[in-house]
Amino acid sequence: MFTKSVEIDVILPVDTKLAGAKKTDQLIGDIASQVADTQKLIQAKQFGVAEQKLNKLISEHPSVSVFYSLMGNVQYLDRKMDAALGFYKKAFDLDPSSAEIGRVIQKIESLKSGGSR
């Protein structure tokens, strides 16, 4: 019936939602891994190394509140209360629903004003 052959080029669209979801999953996985690594450094009292790592992470992901909270932990454990308070306040600004960060801020402010630990 048909005596002619026909070539057809088909370009399939990329599912941008799926690609975006994979990228988001990778980013979340990377951040979770970085948080775990940093917590290990803090537990090992390697505050300088943890601080360097967190400075890099904060510059790469300035809207991730947990990095500021972890930096607050480093400063607090290194007895740098003013710096710790600043990082906790930044974390709270990014995540005002965190009651835990709010309590830590209150505790440090109490300590700075002469309250007990």
CA-nearest of 97, 50, 58 to 76 is 50
Please indicate, yes or no, if residue 52 is contained in any of the structural domains. yes
Percentage of the chain with pLDDT > 70?
Answer: 79
Q: Provide the domain count of the chain.
A: 1
Q: Do residues 66 and 96 lie in contact, with contact meaning Cβ atoms separated by under 8 Å? A: no
Please indicate, yes or no, if residue 13 is contained in any of the structural domains. no
Please indicate, yes or no, if residue 2 is contained in any of the structural domains. no
- Confidence (pLDDT) at 17: 58
Q: What band does 2 get if pLDDT is binned at 50, 70 and 90?
A: very low
Please indicate, yes or no, if residue 93 is contained in any of the structural domains. yes
pTM: 0.76
| Model confidence at 83: pLDDT above 50 | yes
CATH of the domain at 65: 1.25.40.10
Lookup: tokens for 37:
């690594």
Question: Which segment of 14-18, 40-44, 63-67, 83-87 scores lowest on mean pLDDT?
Answer: 14-18
DSSP secondary structure code for residue 114 in this structure? T
What beta strand segments (E) does 15-109 contain? none
Please indicate, yes or no, if residue 51 is contained in any of the structural domains. yes
- Confidence (pLDDT) at 113: 85
Q: What is the pLDDT of residues 87-115, one digit of tens each?
A: 999 999 999 999 999 999 999 999 888 86
Please indicate, yes or no, if residue 117 is contained in any of the structural domains. no
| Model confidence at 8: pLDDT above 60 | no
Under 8 Å CB-to-CB from 94, ≥6 apart: which residues?
A: 63, 64, 65, 68
Q: Could you list the residue range(s) of the whole structural domain that residue 50 is in?
A: 18-112
| Model confidence at 59: pLDDT above 90 | yes
| Model confidence at 19: pLDDT above 90 | no
Please indicate, yes or no, if residue 4 is contained in any of the structural domains. no
- Confidence (pLDDT) at 101: 94
Please indicate, yes or no, if residue 3 is contained in any of the structural domains. no
